[in-house]
Amino acid sequence: MPDPRADIAVIGGSGFYSFLADPTDHRVATPYGEVKVSTGEVAGRRVAFLPRHGEHHEFPPHRINYRANLWALRTVGVRQVLGPCAVGSLQPALGPGTLVLPDQLVDRTYRREQTYVDSGASHVPYADPYCPRTAAHVLATEPDVTGGGAMVVIEGPRFSTRAESQWYAAQGWALVNMTGVPEAPLARELGMCYSALALVTDLDAGLEEGEGVNQEEVFAMFGENIERLKEMLERVIGTLPDPDGCTCSTWMDGMDLPYDVPGPT
Ligand code: ADE
């Protein structure tokens, strides 16, 4: 049996279905279903990869089994998750091709299982949804990445109407996406460091003069930037600081959680 353990995970988004040079595939059982996780080495680190939409993009954003995915990654030992994703821009200054590390989330989803807390009174702190240590590291080492801004996560699979998009932009929010929730809050509930690495693929409908965003535009822009994104991830993985002592692993200290956080024994 190949050793399924990994320390860092990359969850690929639209147009991002493979990452590892010489992957070993594992079927990981979780209380929410089985998940295929690939592991391998990147920049000398043990890395797990899974494409959140499936290998053939079979799961639309609202059908992704987020709970199983995060549980499976933690089961193989992952404590740091990098979540690259395609996003629309709500600010003209963030044009297509811009890489952004958002620092806030606005949840506009409404029909997703987004917690492991299915009983009892465990209310996990969530004021700052992303890992501060990873953010500081990425922003210090990757001059190409713009830091900050709120990402609003819509239910999808449709894009926003022009009025919805104008409303989001008027709030001062920076980005719009369909998968950032519940991936990030589930990682928090498992004590993992989580960072969204957003690639702007389009100006959202509220900013555009024309027809509004469409799927071809998103996939084409993601395709144009995928190699750049992978190279950036490799550099970040190679130098990512240790998660020991990061606040991400301590938010649930002292809570009477209705589940045991999984992990290698
Ligand atoms: N993903 C990529 N572009 C998007 C947009 N404009 N709205 C929602 N999700 C997106």
Q: How many Å lie between the centroid of ligand 1 and the Cα of residue 202?
A: 7
pLDDT band at 158 (very low <50, low <70, confident <90, very high): very high
> Is the CB of 87 inside a 6 Å radius of any atom of ligand 1?
yes
Q: Is the model's pLDDT at 43 over the cut of 70?
A: yes
- Asked whether 158 and 215 are in contact (CB, 8 A), the reply is no
Least confident of 45-49, 182-186, 202-206: 202-206
**pLDDT at residue 210, rounded to an integer:** 67
Q: Which atom of ligand 1 is nearest to the CA of 205?
A: 6
Please determine, for residue 204, whether its predicted confidence score (pLDDT) is greater than 80: yes
Q: Is there an atom of ligand 1 within 6 Å of 173 CB?
A: no
Residue 134 CB–ligand 1 contact under 6 Å? no
pLDDT for position 131:
97
Cα 154–208–59 angle (5° rounding)? 30
What is the mean pLDDT of the segment spanning 127-137?
Answer: 97
Question: Catalytic: 204?
Answer: yes
Q: In this model, does residue 170 exceed pLDDT 80?
A: yes
Average confidence (pLDDT) over 39-60: 94
Question: What pLDDT is recorded for position 156?
Answer: 94
Mean model confidence pLDDT for the chain: 94
pLDDT at 66 over 70: yes
Of the candidates 171, 146, 170, the one whose C-alpha atom is nearest the C-alpha of residue 87 is 146
Is the CB of 213 within 6 Å of ligand 1?
A: yes
pLDDT range class, residue 153, cuts 50, 70, 90: very high
Ligand 1 pocket test: which of 87, 179, 222 has the largest number of ligand atoms within 8 Å of its C-beta? Answer: 87
Render the burial of 135-164: b for 16+ CB within 10 Å, e for the rest.
Answer: bebbeeebeebbeebbbbbbebeebbeeeb
Nearest to 48, CA basis, from 8, 14, 2, 79: 8
Average pLDDT over residues 59-73: 95
* Residue 71, pLDDT above cutoff 80: yes
State the pLDDT at residue 1. 60
